[in-house]
Amino acid sequence: MEPGRARRISARVLRFVALSWAILFSVVATLFAGGYALEDPGWPVGYLMVAAWLAPLGALTVVALRRPVLAWRLMWVCVGIAIAIALVQLAFPRVLTGWEFTNGPVVAIASFVPLVPLAILGRRRPLAAAIAIAIIALGPVVVQLRETELHFGSSVAVSLPMLIAAGLLAVAGLLHRHPAP
């Protein structure tokens, strides 16, 4: 088998693994967070909270499958929102922490919502998807590193699986982009 073909096949497999990983993580995170949301506030608030993140997750996934150009624009808006949240947390550390204590892990859930749509878009543009996922995932990590007390909460816990997906997509993009020597 020629080296260029082997690299393309490896890149395709890595993109598939990244997408599968993103879907698996999103399902597990949704079941975990959804279980707590349905248990603690109960009906109807818990159901509305779950719908508040499943609706954008589903809508962004459908847009990523059917209208990738529009989806990329929406994903960069999500990246901008993630950067804005991180900057607010850096500037006013107690504001979102207190708000999340009352309302749940909003930043963590907002972080994993664009993961599956970005992994879908990563089938065609893996490097761009890897960069977008990494930016979204690294926001909570950077904020946590600024804190004097290191307590790795749900936002940082969500970042690790996202960084794994970003790494898989980045390697796939590099394999696909650069021809064999």
pLDDT at res. 100: 66
Determine how many CB atoms are found less than 10 A away from the CB of residue 149: 5
pLDDT at res. 102: 67
**Per-position b or e across 101-124, b if 16+ CB within 10 A of its CB:** eeebbbbbbbbbbbbbbbbbbbbe
pLDDT at res. 42: 72
**Per-position b or e across 2-41, b if 16+ CB within 10 A of its CB:** eeeeebeeebeebbebbbebbbebbeebbeebbeebeeee
Under DSSP, the state recorded for 75 is: H
pLDDT at res. 94: 73
C-alpha to C-alpha distance for 112 and 24, rounded to whole angstroms? 12
Is-contact 17 160, C-beta < 8 A?
Answer: no
Determine how many CB atoms are found less than 10 A away from the CB of residue 42: 10
pLDDT at res. 149: 64
pLDDT at res. 152: 66
One digit per residue, the tens of pLDDT, for the chain of length 181 reads 687 888 889 999 999 999 999 999 999 988 988 888 788 777 788 888 889 889 999 999 999 999 999 999 999 999 999 888 888 888 887 776 666 666 667 778 888 899 999 999 999 999 999 999 999 999 888 877 776 566 667 778 889 999 999 999 999 999 977 655 5
Q: How many CA atoms lie within 13 A of 147 on its CB side?
A: 17
pLDDT at res. 170: 97
Query: pTM for the complete prediction?
Result: 0.90
pLDDT at res. 164: 97
133 burial (CB, 10 Å; 0-12 / 13-18 / 19+) is buried
pLDDT at res. 2: 82
C-alpha to C-alpha distance for 176 and 92, rounded to whole angstroms? 42
pLDDT at res. 11: 94
